[in-house]
């Protein structure tokens, strides 16, 4: 890393197989959130998925983060995305503001669009309408938190009043159009930037974002998401990850968002997944073309289905062996 950065952990909530316990899944997820807080991670991020999409299911991320807020002391609570194009902006503004009060101002609001045709069909949103809906929702959220009347009624002011939330909005994107919109409005970016996978229309979108931020005087905020899995050695990591890589590639090739020729080994390279002994992971991250842009590194797993007993040691290695070697300094835990 070429500059100081913050460290986040992306928590995925698995779908529950037949005969499983959803209570156990959520208990484990809360335990991982507490571990991230105690290990000094700066932020915890969850992603909204409806109907068990992409091997993960968290339809109500703000409800989950309220439970996290009650069990943690200092870690910031973020959404890598809320599918804002499917949400009512006034209700969303109220729910986020309430969570911000309950967490003592720790919320980071990541907004995005849905990549699921099923979600769009059920919620009645056309794919081509999503960009406009996302931008309009972001505008309405900021106005609501700043205390401006909503819905055309002078007395309709969103409560609780949380104007500083307007400074904690992020857009999840890999496109120039969203990046330019975010830069012009002072929003952060959440991205998995990979130059090799960009279309010509979107090449250089992070440079464009930074250029606009420099002109406006806004400090660029770029949260770079990466699969990071340090283990005892590379082969041990590969053995643990391979079943999940196989499942991801199978799903990706069937649904068309991975080429039919993609293999599980290809997937690790294609997705810039960093795994192996902590020293190997550090060296790999130093060579990652996206990391020089990052003000925040969001580390995460390949799959939601890796059990907590395997994830806790991984989180410890990230916080103790990997991130400090790249220049990160943990924040001390706050004891109740």
Please, which residues have CB within 8 angstroms of residue 196's CB and are 6 or more apart in sequence?
270
Please, which residues have CB within 8 angstroms of residue 194's CB and are 6 or more apart in sequence?
270, 271, 272, 289, 290
Q: What is the pLDDT of residue 249?
A: 86
Q: What is the pLDDT of residue 218?
A: 76
Give the whole-angstrom CA distance, residue 211 versus residue 205: 10
CA-closest candidate to residue 228, choices 186, 194, 272, 190: 272
Give the whole-angstrom CA distance, residue 62 versus residue 23: 17
Domains and CATH numbers, the chain: 6-231+272-326 (3.20.20.30)
Residue 193, CA distances (Å) to 21, 140, 241 in order: 35, 27, 22
| Mean pLDDT taken over the chain | 89
Q: Are 179 and 173 in contact (CB under 8 A)?
A: yes
pLDDT in tens, 207-235: 999 999 888 777 889 999 999 999 999 99
For residue 110 the two structure tokens come to: 């990541």
Give the whole-angstrom CA distance, residue 243 versus residue 178: 34
Q: Please, is 242 exposed, middle or buried when counting C-beta atoms within 10 Å of its C-beta (0-12, 13-18, 19+)?
A: middle
pTM comes to 0.92
pLDDT in tens, the chain (336 residues): 557 899 999 998 877 765 568 888 899 999 999 999 999 999 999 999 888 755 677 899 999 999 999 999 999 999 999 999 999 999 999 999 999 999 999 999 999 998 888 889 899 999 899 999 999 999 999 999 999 999 889 989 999 999 999 999 999 999 999 999 999 999 999 999 988 778 888 999 999 999 998 887 778 899 999 999 999 999 988 888 888 888 888 877 887 778 889 898 887 877 778 999 999 999 999 999 999 999 999 998 766 567 777 789 999 999 999 999 999 987 665 543
- Cα 182–chain centre separation: 16
Q: Are 173 and 191 in contact (CB under 8 A)?
A: yes
């Amino acid at each position: 890393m070429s500059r100081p950065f913050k460290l986040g952990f992306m928590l995925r909530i698995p779908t529950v197989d037949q005969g499983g316990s959803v209570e156990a899944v959520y208990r484990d997820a809360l335990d991982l959130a507490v571990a991230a807080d105690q290990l000094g991670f700066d932020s915890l991020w969850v992603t909204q998925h409806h109907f068990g999409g992409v091997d993960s299911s968290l339809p109500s991320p703000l409800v989950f983060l309220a439970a996290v807020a009650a069990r943690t002391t200092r870690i910031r609570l973020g959404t890598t995305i809320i599918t804002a194009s499917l949400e009512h902006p006034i209700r969303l503004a109220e729910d986020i503001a309430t969570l911000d009060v309950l967490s003592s101002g720790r919320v980071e609001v990541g907004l995005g669009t849905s990549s699921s045709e099923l979600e769009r069909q059920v919620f009645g949103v056309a794919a081509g309408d999503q960009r406009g809906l996302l931008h309009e929702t972001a505008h309405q959220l900021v106005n609501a938190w700043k205390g401006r009347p909503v819905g055309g009624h002078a007395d309709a002011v969103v409560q609780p009043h949380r104007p500083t939330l307007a400074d904690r909005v992020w857009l999840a994107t890999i496109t120039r159009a969203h990046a330019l919109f975010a830069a012009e409005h002072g929003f952060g970016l959440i991205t998995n930037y990979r130059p090799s996978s960009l279309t010509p229309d979107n090449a250089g979108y992070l440079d464009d974002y930074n250029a606009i931020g420099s002109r406006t005087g806004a400090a660029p905020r770029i949260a770079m998401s990466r699969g990071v899995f340090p283990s005892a050695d590379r082969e041990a990591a590969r053995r643990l990850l391979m079943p999940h890589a196989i499942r991801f590639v199978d799903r990706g090739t069937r649904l068309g968002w991975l080429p039919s020729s993609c293999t599980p080994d290809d997937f690790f390279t294609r997705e810039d997944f960093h795994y192996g002994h902590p020293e190997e992971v550090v060296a790999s991250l130093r060579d990652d073309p996206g990391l020089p842009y990052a003000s925040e590194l969001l580390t995460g797993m390949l799959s939601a289905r890796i059990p907590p007993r395997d994830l806790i040691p991984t989180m410890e290695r990230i916080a103790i062996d990997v991130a400090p070697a790249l220049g990160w300094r943990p924040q001390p835990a706050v004891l109740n």
